[in-house]
Every structure is written in structure tokens, then in C-alpha cells.
Amino acid sequence: MSQKKQGIVLIIMAGFFFSLMTLCVRAAGDLPTMEKAFFRNAVATLVAAFTLARSKEGFKIKKSSWKDLFFRCLCGTTGLICNFYAIDKINLADANILNKLSPFFAIIFSYFLLKEKANKVEWGCVILAFIGAIFVIKPSGDVQALYALIGALGGLGAGMAYTFVRKLGANGERGPIIVLCFSLFSCIVILPFLIANYEPMSLKQFLILMGAGVAASGGQFTITAAYTKAPAKEISVYDYTQILFAAMWGFMFYGEIPEVYSIIGYIIIIGSAIFKWYYVLEKSEEKNEKNS
């Protein structure tokens, strides 16, 4: 199997794991959002710490990384809490597609934070994706629209966090360090809310939340491995398979069937992502041909 095909398989696996995480979050029942987020990140913290403990460099962090790590953690934690809250309030496919607005938000933040200029086609894809999000959110003034808007804010937080991840990676910071700092930071921030609003859970709920943490860790490590096999421009579009998995879980376990407007939104958002992926790939091939 070629490196590119390996990358595609790995990124589809990541989509499966992340969709499974959202299913576990929903299946844990009426526990507070902060409680669910804490246990999800506690598992990821342990997995990342174990990985670093076995590495040659250990827990060493570059001095130049601290500022970017802080903002990655802050934005990522905000996005995670919004995403988890939306998972409990709207159907799984809607929550997942709104979180997948993150690459489009990343284009905006990369312009300001990394000074990376997007062209007219890329800005057009961003606008189309946000139009698609309006179909999913269905602004109407009711509480469901508010829940969906919170889900979109989760995508915004994730998009900003990924921008800082990219900046950290470009500066040579290791992936497990970024995962550990984010997971540990989230646990520390969430802990006071967990203590103040803790609700006892059954053994079944505890095991489900542990499953959410294991699935999230699986997603983080497989998506990292995917991008070591092939460039993001070649395989990133396959990350949207997460929406298909989430829709499958929602139908199988909760009888959820997306509304017509939501489906239109899915088509617009995923279509924008596919078009952008194809456009970037074509431009890259043209550039390579000119240089050869």
C-alpha cells in the first residue's frame, strides 16, 4: 500500500474514532458537560504522558512554544466544551458537521496569525461553508438554534486551536507534547466546575466515558499518523467521513434522521471542502510541472 493510501486509511480511521467519541459522550446520559469533558481529557492526558515517558526527549518543551501552547490549549478547551454541549442537545450528525467548520475558520485565523494569504477561491469556499452552516443552524430564535450556534462556536475554537497547532508544528514542537498540554490544561480548567456540579455516575456511565477518552486518543494518534504519511492537501477531505459515521450512529442508536435543511447544509459544507481540496491539489500539480 502506498504512503498516500495508508494516509487515507488512517484519516478515515480517525473519523471513525472521533465519531465514536461523540456517540459515547451522548450515551453517557444526563451528566454535566464539564464532567464528560474532564473524563475524556483525563484519558488522553494519561495516553500522551505514557507516550512521552517512553520517548528519548521525554517531557522537554521548547522555550519558544509556551505562548502558542497556551493559546492552543485555551482555544481547544473552549471548542471542546462547546462541541460536547452541542452533542448533548442536537443530533450527532449536526454536531459533527458544525465542528467540521474548523478548517474554514483556520483559513481566517491563519491569515491573521500566520500571515498566510488565501486567494479568492479559498475565501469563496469559506463563505459557502458558512452559508451551509446557516442551513444546519436554522436561525429561528428558538433554543435549538442556540444549541446549534454553540456547536458552530465549537468549530471556531477548534479552527483557532488548529492554527496554533500548525504554528507549533512548523516550529518543531512534538505532537505528543501538544496533546499532553491541551489535555492537561483542559482538565485543570474544568476541574473546579466538575467539583462544583459533580453528579455521581453509574459504573456503566464511567465505562462509557472511559470509552470516549480511548476513542478520542485513537482519533488523535491516527490523524497525526495520517499526516506523517501524506500531505494534508492530499488526504484532509477524507476527514469528513466522520459525518457519515456520526449520522450512522445517530440513526442506529437514537433514530435520528437529519432534516432536509440540515442535509442541504451538509452538502454545501462538504462540497466546499471537496472543491477546495481538489483546487489545492490541482494548483500543487501545476506548480510541480512548472518546476520539473
Q: What is the pLDDT averaged over residues 76-103?
A: 93
End-to-end CA distance of the chain: 26
The Cα angle at residue 11 between residues 8 and 15, in degrees rounded to 5: 135
* Beta carbons of 35 and 191 less than 8 angstroms apart: no
* Beta carbons of 62 and 167 less than 8 angstroms apart: no
Predicted confidence at residue 217, as pLDDT, reads 87
| Cβ neighbours around 62 below 10 Å, total | 14
State the cell numbers at 58: 521525554
CA distances to 97, 218, 291 from 75, in Å? 19, 21, 39
Mean pLDDT of the chain: 90
Predicted confidence at residue 225, as pLDDT, reads 80
* Beta carbons of 245 and 111 less than 8 angstroms apart: no
Q: Map out the domains of the chain as residue ranges.
A: 3-291
Q: What is the pTM of this model?
A: 0.88
pLDDT tens digits, 109-166: 888 888 888 889 989 999 999 999 999 999 877 899 999 999 999 999 998 988 898 8
Predicted confidence at residue 255, as pLDDT, reads 95
Q: What is the pLDDT averaged over residues 233-247?
A: 87
